[in-house]
Every structure is written in structure tokens, then in C-alpha cells.
Amino acid sequence: MKGNIYTAERCPLCKGKLHHDENRSGFTCSAHFDQTIIPQKCRVKFGRDVIQRFNNYYEAQQFLAGLRFKTVEGTFDSRDYKNSNPLGFETQVVKWLSIKEQNIKPETFSRMKNSVHKMVHYWGQKNIKTFSFGDFEDYLYSLKVGNKTRANIRSYINDFFTWLHNRENIPLPKIPEIKYELGWRNIIDIELQQKIIDEIRRICPHFKVWLGVKWLATYVAIRPKELRFLKEREIDVNGSIIIPHPKEKDPKLVAMLDDDIQIYRSLPVGMPDLYFFRHDCANGSAKPGDHYSKNMFYGWWRRACSNLGVEGVDLYGGTRHSTTSALGKYFSTEELREHGTMHKTNKAFDRYCQGKQTESLKVYQKVREMQAKKGKILKIDSKS
């Protein structure tokens, strides 16, 4: 049978070499064959790849029997027993992250890396083939985070083990589903939205801050972050904005209105690789040429709202959400999703558009029409 147990100890009687005798469950020497010797230290050698040391013969015996059983069963994998631990969680995660870093955005990779490093601290070099549903559930619910963040972390785990399944042919373990509800932002009507934008124009010395907020309220396919990272070469002088790396992954081409084209043409032309929404001079920690920070637009939005006594409406809700909701009165959900916000999924779009209200209004309008019609009075038994 494959594999055997060896020891460096010698016969206590003649100091001769000991040989393993499986029938006796111990060792013998050629000079004292009638004596069965149980050494304290021994090692199991199984083929060329597996060598394991033990301080107890019976543990070594059980280990060898287990390897033979796995061989017959077809589940033996020599990598499970190498000192380098090639199937350890941390070992494989390092490989996965090195590949991910080359295929996703730096900011997305940074978030993923931080989450995965916490997993490494929790699981260490746990064998990747031994993970169970309970392991994932225990970890996910040990985190003091909301369900949206927990669901994001769950997606990293699923991505990693799917990669392992494809790369190492390891069975894909079952991972708990995390349910969460997306939050709703407060919205305003278009009239108030325009008052806030006008107030920004009045109080803000930076023309492009006003222009950026104006564009966010108009071109609902563009997110604030996408706008901040927009480069000069991604705005076509003839009337379109190109978002090359949006959240939806496929590049977006956003048509511009004539008045915005004229505004753009009136501005000084910058070098192609310069950010369009950039600092022209040093501003705090920002250097000339740096793109606007995430607080540049929002900071002036808040000031304008404060001046007008508007509370509880953030930049995203007051621009993109509010405009899309107002458009829901004139366009179908599918039209808005495809040609307005350019969302890839209905679930994400419903959150931004709050567009289901459009279809609901049709139902409620029919109720109102029926209520307006004259008809017979139906008597209803109050006891029923």
C-alpha cells in the first residue's frame, strides 16, 4: 500500500535500525524480531509530496490511514499537506488581489483590499476547501456594519471563491444571501431646484461650480464623481460628453443642449488631459490642475440651501433624483432608464427615479375619473 511510517530512533537493545511493521502496529529490528517497539517520534511519507512529522506513533498511523482513504475516495490533494500552504486563504487571496488590481478602478480596488485584509486577519491560512456556510455567516454577522456594506463584503467573498472554482477546480461553497433596502433621498420640485442653482450663481465666485451643479440637474445620466473626473478631451465641442469609465462599466455618451454647448465654447480651451472641473490656482491642499474634491459642488449647494432655508436635501437628491422624478410625469420608466439615467438595472433605477409613482398615478387618476362621474348611490349594509 502507498505510504509508510519511518523513525530515526534505534532499537533500545542493539541500537539497530527500526522498520515499520503494520501487522504489529509498531516497529521491529532484524536482530530482535520478537520485540514490538513504539517510537516517540516518527514521520509519515506519502509519495514524494507529503512528509509529516509526529510525536505520537498512533497519530501517525491514523494520518496515514486517512491519506489512503482519501486516495481511494478520489479526494486526495497533496497541496493540502505542503508546508508552504498553497491552498491557504491568505496565499490565494494575495494572488486574487494581484489580478484584481489590474482589472478594476483604483478606488474600487482600495475598498476591496481593505475589506479582504480584514478577512485575512480573521481566517488567516484556513484551507480554502474547508470553508462552509457557517464560516461565512459567522464572519459577515460579526461585522458591525449595515446590511448594504455587509452585502458588498459578501460580493467580494463570492467573487473570490468563484475565481477559485474556475482556477483550482474547487467546489463553490454556499454563501449566505444578505438582504437590504436602498435608502431614499429627499427630493424637491424643479422650481425650487432652479432657485438653489441661481443662488449658487449669485454667491459662488467659481463659475464652473455653478455650471457643474447645473449640468448635474440637467444631464441625469452623469454622477457627481463622474463629472469631477471629466477631462477636457471628453467634452466634444460639437455637443456631447463622454463618460469613459462609468459605474455601469459601458462608456456613456451624453448629448448636450445648445445653450450648454455655447457656454462650453465660450470658455478657454484647456489641454486634453486636464480635468475640466479643476482648480486654476492653489486652494488649501489642492494644487493647480487638481480636479474638484467631492465637497466642492456639495459645499456650495449646502450654502445656497441654507440661504434659502432649504433643509434635508443633499446635492444628489436635489439634482439627479429630483430631475428624474419630475421627468417621470412625461416619460415612461423604460424611456427614462434607457435614455435618461442610463441605469443597467431596474432596481437601481427605481431608487433614483422613484418612477413607480408614474404608473401608480395612472391608477389613481382612473379612480378620480370614476369618482367624478355621476351615478347611482349604492346602499351598503353597515352590519356587513
State the distance between the two ends of the chain, measured CA to CA, in whole angstroms.
84
Question: Which fold would CATH assign to domain 190-364?
Answer: hpI Integrase; Chain A (1.10.443)
> So what's the architecture of 89-168 in CATH?
Orthogonal Bundle (1.10)
How does pLDDT run across 368-381, given as a tens digit for each residue? 555 455 444 443 44
Integer Rg of the chain from CA: 34
Looking at residue 162, what is its pLDDT?
Answer: 96
Q: Where are the domains of the chain?
A: 4-81, 89-168, 190-364
Q: Rounded mean pLDDT of the chain?
A: 83
Residue 85 pLDDT more than 90? Answer: no
Do residues 96 and 122 lie in contact, with contact meaning Cβ atoms separated by under 8 Å?
no
Of 207, 147, 209, nearest in space to 183 by CA: 147
- Strand residues in 14-103 grouped as ranges (E): 19-21, 26-28, 42-46, 50-54
The string of DSSP codes covering 318-367 is IIIIHHHHHHTTTS-HHHHIIIII--SSHHHHHHHH-THHHHHHHHHHHH
Task: Provide the grid cell at 70.
Answer: 482519501
d(CA 105, CA 138): 30
Residue 331 pLDDT more than 80? Answer: no
**Can you give the pTM of this predicted structure?**
0.55
The string of DSSP codes covering 78-102 is GGGG-TT-TTBHHHHHHHHHHHHTT
Q: Which residue has the cell 455587509?
A: 150
Residue 139 pLDDT level (bands cut at 50, 70, 90): very high
Looking at residue 339, what is its pLDDT?
Answer: 57
How does pLDDT run across 172-199, given as a tens digit for each residue? 999 999 987 766 678 888 899 999 999 9
How does pLDDT run across 209-259, given as a tens digit for each residue? 999 999 998 888 888 889 999 999 998 877 788 888 776 667 788 888 888
d(CA 95, CA 158): 16
- Strand residues in 151-293 grouped as ranges (E): 235-236, 240-243, 252-255
* DSSP letter (8 states) at residue 107: H
